[in-house]
Structure 1
């Protein structure tokens, strides 16, 4: 049972989240809601967000699993610092992340000249949107993998190794299946974070309609010119976030 002294604080915390969402919903012109969210600009930005976030979530799965396993098993001096660097995007201002990406992969960036020599341009393209989303969402997958591995004793892996299984076989046949629920949670949270990414995307990818203008950018730009469209699209993103996070933690509670 929840202690009575915690009830007021819990209620204040809940209201702090709930009231702004109610206020947002109260500003929606429901009579024109559907035309607003299905307008060319809104639909293009929403579809772009969903498409790039899906790719970013897949990249987080592909890169985050080996990175999380490597950090969990790291025993070298400086492993804690390496983990802190990898997880830094969790607390790093997104604009700073966008600047870092721009100075690394932009035309005049650290690797920009080399990439341009091979005919590859990343900044201010759809690929830049995916990279920005992956940059900010990857730590969610790494944390999910590390947390899942920390709850395991490693007994089954040790048994498989004593039976002659090679490290890759042990990982593929024993460790990876056990990480299934954590990978699902990490992927969904990475997707949700990618859908809502704004600062790094704006700084690194810009805001070109149909190319890099995701739903958060469309909301920001429409805030002054067409507040009704901004509010309607904002409600759509709130619903997406609630559905994604709700489904994730419902699945976690069921296990």
Structure 2
């Protein structure tokens, strides 16, 4: 799962990034209105943590842009402005939640997980596809009741493909989502192939009822057998 943290206060940003990374999220950052607007316009995220007061503009304007572009990211407003007016404005513009500073990281993590479950997995704690079961929070995978041991990138690839099942996922989108936004500057995506190859083998060896199909020159699609 990839998260964008939009926060201008350096210490708070560092704390958020470190805490989220410990939870095994891929974390990108923006520290002002312009850079945040550019990131949400170019890249896709699973969840955005959004401060309202930013250098150069308002976080509420970023929410308006997300709505205008019909983006599907979950958004949690994280702000020191604990006013009913701001809360209502943010929720009306499409934010999923509102968390006032200061807060405990445990509460933030709980709210992020809740948004991800609602947005990606219909509110369910476990993802079920044919005989494949995934626990996104614990990073565990089973085929029927047999555990499948995956490395970090293999798990991230699988979860991303499952959340986009039966859809064609481009190599660029997959690389950005699993390895980070700046990966689009890479000369090629050879590093993806070995991870996909290993993941396919593990799924096949365990008798998974899903298959990763390669669409030559474009990307990948996860389908049930």
How high is the TM-score relative to the length of structure 2? 0.28
Larger Cα Rg: Structure 1 or Structure 2? 1
Bigger RCO (CA 8 Å, 6+ sep) = 1
| Structure ranking higher in strand proportion | 2
How high is the TM-score relative to the length of structure 1? 0.26
| Structure ranking higher in helix proportion | 1
